[in-house]
Amino acid sequence: MSMDVTFLGTGAAYPSPTRGASAVVLRCEGECWLFDCGEGTQTQLMKSQLKAGRITKIFITHLHGDHFFGLPGLLCTISLQSGSMVSKQPIEIYGPVGLRDFIWRTMELSHTELVFHYVVHELVPTADQCPAEELKEFARVNRAGSPPKEEQGRTILLDSEENSYLLFDDEQFVVKAFRLFHRIPSFGFSVVEKKRPGKLNAQKLKDLGKCFFFFCFFPPSHQ
């Protein structure tokens, strides 16, 4: 499987003319997964070879502004570039509790109507992930109803036996979140590709009496 990683931003606190705020894209099998979405992420995407419309999953590590203030603008840009008729699957968004209401409030206050559906899955932190005075209980915003394009997401609790949060497990990947200690509840993410059986039929080669050799190349190391 072809996979590559693009660092759109590695700066802290705020973007600069030469360095974007936190944002990393994992690209595999034609899909793009975005990890964090700091301010200016969509501008960095335009400078790269990546296409915002290819983003299918977004993972937010924590709710400090330099890690997610670019998210509403990115969603709006994807919507504008998508046209009026969209048949794509909903964008899956994973992040700490409070992220769903943040997205809803920004869309509501700006009178934004996205043309695609999205779903927010929230991770419930534990009390030992940050200083006690920083741990907040996020009360639900009083809504008349859910936004038209928001689908029902999951509330994901810690699996105490695995000490992790299972985000999804499909035919190709297992993706989990792990607790991190920071000034506010934070999470790290792991993406594990499942083993896939090879396509070489060794028995058929033996039956045909063919002889093959394998060549391995190891690039020189740089000291």
Q: What is the pLDDT of residues 153-185, one digit of tens each?
A: 999 999 999 999 999 999 889 999 999 999 999
- Residues 85-113 as b/e (b if ≥16 CB within 10 A, e otherwise) read eeeeeebbbbbbbbbbbbbbebbeeeeee
With a cut of 80, say whether residue 72 has pLDDT above it.
yes
Q: Please give the Cα distance from 79 to 91 (Å, whole number).
A: 11
When pLDDT is cut at 50, 70 and 90, the band that residue 210 belongs to is: low
Q: Please give the Cα distance from 115 to 99 (Å, whole number).
A: 20
Write down the pLDDT at residue 146.
63
- 158: nearest Cα among 133, 122, 200: 122
Q: Please give the Cα distance from 7 to 17 (Å, whole number).
A: 15
Q: Is 4 a catalytic residue?
A: no
Averaged pLDDT of the chain: 85
Distance of CA 5 to the CA centre of its chain: 12
Q: Please give the Cα distance from 55 to 84 (Å, whole number).
A: 18
Exactly one of 36, 66, 101, 128 is catalytic; which is it? 66
For the stretch 43-62, pLDDT in tens is 999 999 998 989 999 999 99
Max CA separation in the chain (angstroms)? 73
Domains recognised in the chain with CATH numbers: 3-208 (3.60.15.10)
Distance of CA 17 to the CA centre of its chain: 25
Give this prediction's pTM. 0.83
More confident residue, 30 or 138: 30
With a cut of 80, say whether residue 112 has pLDDT above it.
yes
Is residue 198 a contact partner of residue 141, using CB atoms and an 8 Å limit?
A: no
Q: Please give the Cα distance from 206 to 203 (Å, whole number).
A: 5
Write down the pLDDT at residue 145.
58
Dihedral, CA atoms, 115, 117, 123, 129, nearest 10 degrees?
-10
With a cut of 90, say whether residue 16 has pLDDT above it.
no
- First-last CA distance in the chain: 29
